[in-house]
Structure 1
């Protein structure tokens, strides 16, 4: 199966407590990180693929490679093949470190990388997967799945925030545990829910 997520922000102490931008009521990054890992692995198997739309982690150490190694150890605890799309908190140095230590899981690499985004088809829709929300203009057949804005949403019905803090998770029939990657059936619920919401406003 294919899943999508964004803005895990592993190791990010700035998001602990009730922050105005992305409230995460955890007492420590260890508790937050372990919660995300457990909920991720409860849904995703090593045969699955997860599109991570950026902002994997926020962590600094000296030398910098020690920070990369710490983030890499966390990523290795996550099930599945990870397709990593670069976010504003993801450095090229981190991606180079992961690429250098990449390995095969089953018959394909554990990690794949994209700087900007991925255009994909799933079922009857086209999706453009990016970190930043995009205004795609006259492209009614394309839905932009994105992260970056945490508990905000774009006032456009074809932009869906799939980050783990997204308020658009409220469009789902049932809540998902914090940090759980979304199936594309759930993405479809979010798309339909936002479309209906916009129709009600007109």
Structure 2
């Protein structure tokens, strides 16, 4: 099965509590990290594929290998094969570290990497998976799945924010637990919900 998510921001302590941009109600990053891990693994099976659309973590140490190792440890606790699209907070050094510690199971590597995005065909749609929201123009069969803007939404029905703290999760009949990746049936529900919402405003 395939899933998509974005903006997990593991270890990002500035998002805890009352941060104006993306507040998260956790007492510390350890609890936040573990909550995401638990909710992720309750839904994703070991051999599933998850597209992570950037901003994996925000954790910097000297030497950098210490924080890279901590992020790798968290990612290794997540079920699935991870296709990582680089976000603005994902350093090239982190991706190089993950690549150097990559491994295979179930016939595929744990990590695959993309700098900009992935064009994915699923069912009757094409999805362009990026970190930043894109303005694709008139392309009715292409939906841009993105992260980056946390609890904001692009006022265009073809752009769907699939981040863990996206307001567009409200289009789902049942809102997922925090950090739980979305399957493509849920993505489709969000696409249809946003299109219906926009049609009502015409």
Q: Normalised by the size of structure 1, how large is the TM-score? A: 0.99
SS in 2 for 1:3: strand
Q: Where does residue 201 of structure 2 map in the other structure?
A: 201
- In the alignment, structure 1 segments of 5+ residues that lack a partner are none
Q: Where does residue 66 of structure 1 map in the other structure?
A: 66
Q: Distance in 2 between matches of 1:50 and 1:21?
A: 25
CA shift at 1:83, angstroms?
A: 0.2
Q: Where does residue 85 of structure 2 map in the other structure?
A: 85
Q: Deviations over 1:53-87 (max 9, x none)?
A: 00000001110111111110010000000000000
Q: Deviations over 1:138-173 (max 9, x none)?
A: 222100000000000000000000000000000001
Alignment root-mean-square deviation, CA:
0.5
Q: Where does residue 169 of structure 2 map in the other structure?
A: 169
CA shift at 1:36, angstroms?
A: 0.2
Q: Distance in 2 between matches of 1:128 and 1:98?
A: 24
Q: Distance in 2 between matches of 1:154 and 1:78?
A: 29
Aligned length: 202
Q: Where does residue 20 of structure 1 map in the other structure?
A: 20
Q: Distance in 2 between matches of 1:167 and 1:103?
A: 35
CA shift at 1:88, angstroms?
A: 0.2
SS in 1 for 2:186: helix
Q: Distance in 1 between matches of 2:17 and 2:105?
A: 36
Q: Normalised by the size of structure 2, how large is the TM-score? A: 0.99
User: For residues 124-163 of structure 1, what are the structure 2 equivalents within 5 Å?
Assistant: 124-163=124-163
SS in 2 for 1:43: coil
4+ long deviations beyond 4 Å: none
Q: Distance in 2 between matches of 1:46 and 1:175?
A: 23
Q: Distance in 1 between matches of 2:201 and 2:138?
A: 21
